[in-house]
Amino acid sequence: MCGGAKRTAGVSESSSQCGEADPSEEFYGKPLLHLAAIGRCVEFAGELMSAVARVDSTEKRGVTALRNLSMCKWLLKNGVCTSRYSSSGKHPLHLASTSAPEVLDLLLSRGHDVNTPDTINGDTPLHVACNMANSETITVLIKHGCKFNQVNKHRQTPLAKLLRLAKDFNDFHSRSSYHIY
């Protein structure tokens, strides 16, 4: 079991002895399954699932536990819904476009539309990746055939978002995964 998850599991185990255990229990606003995902603790997630934790549990913002590749594969195998939008209007593709190219590639290979707009601004995953200046996720999206000229509700293309960042060197440098020396 993972170090961080072990402490959380200890809390759950002690409360289960008192008859208060709930697999949907939260710690600082995050379901325990999310903490397992953050800590990359697939085995702890398995224990939570055997205690009837919901694989589709969401945190307060409506985000699922699709965090990293191993957890994503495990959650997909156990039936997580990958088409649910968060309360911020983001699809799991948008969330993966910020910093998880492996998860993004896996979700796209399962048939999700690479040009799925969010429900608030109409941003596609490419808009999100360009806004974060994340070259790895941009590459994955291009590989899957994303549209470069799709505009959001503010009439911005993904390239326009990237160029806006490039004008402000400090902001671009802080978001980019590459360090310029």
Q: Is residue 86 part of a domain?
A: yes
Confidence at residue 165, expressed as pLDDT on a 0 to 100 scale? 76
Confidence at residue 69, expressed as pLDDT on a 0 to 100 scale? 78
Domain C-terminal end among 32, 54, 81: 81
* Judgement on whether residues 132 and 53 belong to the same structural domain of the protein: no
* Judgement on whether residues 107 and 54 belong to the same structural domain of the protein: no
* Judgement on whether residues 77 and 87 belong to the same structural domain of the protein: no
* Judgement on whether residues 158 and 176 belong to the same structural domain of the protein: yes
CATH number, domain at 88? Answer: 1.25.40.20
Query: What's the whole-number mean pLDDT along residues 101-124?
Result: 93
pLDDT for 113 beyond 90: yes
CB 34 within 8 Å of CB 59:
yes
pLDDT for 22 beyond 60: no
* Judgement on whether residues 58 and 32 belong to the same structural domain of the protein: yes
Confidence at residue 8, expressed as pLDDT on a 0 to 100 scale? 38
Task: Tell me the two tokens of residue 4.
Answer: 């961080």
From 30-44, 48-62, 114-128, 166-180, the region with the lowest mean pLDDT: 166-180
Give the range of the structural domain holding residue 165, as residue numbers without chain letter. Answer: 82-181
Query: What's the whole-number mean pLDDT along residues 130-151?
Result: 92
Between residues 160 and 180, the one the model is more confident about: 160
CB 2 within 8 Å of CB 45:
no
Query: What's the whole-number mean pLDDT along residues 145-152?
Result: 94
Q: Is residue 4 part of a domain?
A: no
* Judgement on whether residues 122 and 157 belong to the same structural domain of the protein: yes
Q: Is 155 exposed, middle or buried (0-12, 13-18, 19+ CB in 10 A)?
A: exposed
Write the CB contacts of 17 (distance below 8 Å, at least 6 apart in sequence): none
Confidence at residue 55, expressed as pLDDT on a 0 to 100 scale? 61
Q: Phi-psi category of 124—alpha, beta or left, where left has phi over 0 and alpha has psi -120 to 50?
A: beta
* Judgement on whether residues 54 and 88 belong to the same structural domain of the protein: no
Q: Is residue 70 part of a domain?
A: yes
Q: Is residue 141 part of a domain?
A: yes
pLDDT for 162 beyond 80: yes
Between residues 94 and 171, the one the model is more confident about: 94
Strand ranges for the chain from DSSP E: 26-27, 30-31
Q: Is residue 98 part of a domain?
A: yes
Confidence at residue 65, expressed as pLDDT on a 0 to 100 scale? 67
The reported pTM is: 0.67
* Judgement on whether residues 139 and 91 belong to the same structural domain of the protein: yes
Between residues 8 and 151, the one the model is more confident about: 151
* Judgement on whether residues 95 and 175 belong to the same structural domain of the protein: yes
Domain C-terminal end among 81, 110, 137: 81
* Judgement on whether residues 96 and 70 belong to the same structural domain of the protein: no
Query: What's the whole-number mean pLDDT along residues 132-136?
Result: 88
* Judgement on whether residues 72 and 104 belong to the same structural domain of the protein: no
Confidence at residue 175, expressed as pLDDT on a 0 to 100 scale? 56
Pairwise CA distance, residues 163 & 122, whole Å: 19
Q: What percent of the chain has a predicted confidence (pLDDT) above 70?
A: 69
Domain C-terminal end among 26, 47, 81: 81
* Judgement on whether residues 96 and 167 belong to the same structural domain of the protein: yes
pLDDT band at 92 (very low <50, low <70, confident <90, very high): confident
